[in-house]
Structure 1
Amino acid sequence: MTQILLNLAGNAVKFTETGAVDILADAVDGNFEIAVRDTGPGIASKDQALIFEEFQQVDNSSTRQKGGTGLGLAISKRIAEMHGGTLDVESVIGSGSTFRLKVPIRMNEDVRAA
């Protein structure tokens, strides 16, 4: 989970030249949710699914200028899915993006016994 948060927060900071990056956490309907919200340039709807694929980045000069391999979001999505969770994005060009991680809350027997 740490790796996912580092990837999401790192991307938000990298692409938000002015404005803010917010990290919110909550427990909702049996899931632990983390939202990383930024006021960066946003991601076009046609590119939102693409950014979760390996070696894929939104093709614009800003992305090329910032660097990166295009693996962070693909790895993050896989980690989330391995934990039974999801990683999604909501974004509007010019208004920023919100990446939302949801993972089930599970208590193992040792924790319940304590």
Structure 2
Amino acid sequence: MTYQPGLSNADVVTGQLDAYNAQDLDAFCAYYADDAALADFNGAVFAQGIDAIRERHAKLFADFPQNKAVRINRVEVGQVVIDHEDVFRSPDATPFQVAAIYTIAGGKIARVDFVK
């Protein structure tokens, strides 16, 4: 799925997850607002703006070329989509769990708070 205006909030999050798993940086970034933020839950913002998000994920994709995230569960409440995921850095790696709390605004991801 490629980003297009009018997607549901769930489709926006699913599209960015599919692009993340394909390590398609341009497609991944298309789902994010220009001023989007990535943050630790109740903590510091660690990437602010699409350029910082692009740089962070370019490095992640280069460092872990077989990285994949598998959605375990999803909750949708208004403009918020919460995905519980297993993240595998390689096919034989032990996964770690993440809850990603996506806030959608204007049809794009405005913020993601990560619980690790």
* TM-score normalised per structure 1: 0.29
Q: Which structure has greater strand proportion?
A: 2
Instruction: Compare relative contact order (CA 8 Å, sep 6+) and give the higher one, 1 or 2.
Output: 1
TM-score by structure 2 length?
0.29
The structure with the greater share of residues assigned to helix is 1
